[in-house]
Copies of this chain bind each other. A is one copy, B any other.
Amino acid sequence: MTDRTSATSAGANGGRRSLGAARGGSRAARQPLERPAPLRQAVYDVIAEMIINRELQPGEHLVENELAAHLGVSRQPVREALQRLHNEGWVDLRPALGAFVHVPTEEEADQLLATRTLLETESARLAAKHATPEQVERLRELQRAGEQALSEDSQVALVEANAALHAYMVEMSGNKVLAQLIAMVDRRVRWYYSPIARSRGREAWDEHAALIDVIAGGNSRRAGEIMRKHTERTRESYHQRRKEGGGQDAAS
């Protein structure tokens, strides 16, 4: 009982941690277009990030009170954020027990990768189908960003550039439904294999370059093929590393 009291009192807007502070200043702004951006969104972002970079480990019990106290908000936004994380497969919600960080299984990882291949392949095909010169130029920009990260040997930048490139290609596809699905799947894929795959680096970005060329040429069939191979190789690399003992991560 005492702990809960302390937890809530800490959260009782007396010490809004980063979350409240970031919003407090917007008081002056009066534009009708500006959306308040609910707390639960911020809470969701923070928790999701904590899960992704392993601050919260798979299987870990996410106690609403603790999270609320930690973030300086009440349980309510935390609950709603957890719900959303559940819908998107990040946490398991066991009735009357609460939320637990999802524990990835080998099977699931494989299925995710397979599904990703399917979706990304289609995305590439569509992107090639109606690519405009401006879009291609944008792709090349992103490609250069990747090369840069590669030369600087910055893993973080590399992962980011990779995500950006794929994301933009999806956007180019013009299919928002597809984009939504890919967003979900991709994020989880990255979570699964990011700690293992030191990124195929050079190789992967060469493939990207080739892919962009094909897209520029508008050859949708070939674009799809290249993307399939590209993601398949990532998948293979994933399996290989797992066998080699990168298994610190996934599954039991």
Contact = CB atoms under 8 A, between A and B. Distances in A.
A104 to B, nearest CB: 12
Contact of A177 (B96, B112, B175, B180): B112
Question: Which of A96, A122, A175, A177 has the most chain B CB atoms closer than 10 A to its own CB?
Answer: A177
8 contacts: A36-B95, A38-B95, A111-B175, A115-B178, A118-B178, A177-B185, A181-B181, A181-B185
A119 B185 CA distance: 14
Question: Which of A36, A79, A178, A185 has the most chain B CB atoms closer than 10 A to its own CB?
Answer: A178
Given A118-B122, A181-B181, 6 more contacts: A35-B95, A35-B96, A111-B175, A114-B175, A115-B178, A118-B118
A80 B78 CA distance: 11
A88 B88 CA distance: 10
Contacts of A35: 95-96
B181 A95 contact: no
Interface string A173-210: 00111101100010000000000000000000000000
B83 A115 contact: no
A176 to B, nearest CB: 6
A241 interface: no
A87 interface: yes
A29 B176 CA distance: 46
A37 interface: yes
Interface residues of A, number: 28
Contacts of A87: 83-84, 87-88
B83 A178 contact: no
A38 to B, nearest CB: 6
A141 interface: no
A160 interface: no
A45 interface: no
Interface in A1-39: 35-38
A115 B84 contact: no
B175 A115 contact: yes
Contacts of A181: 115, 181, 185
B37 A177 contact: no
Interface string A123-142: 00000000000000000000
A225 interface: no
A108 interface: yes
A38 B98 CA distance: 12
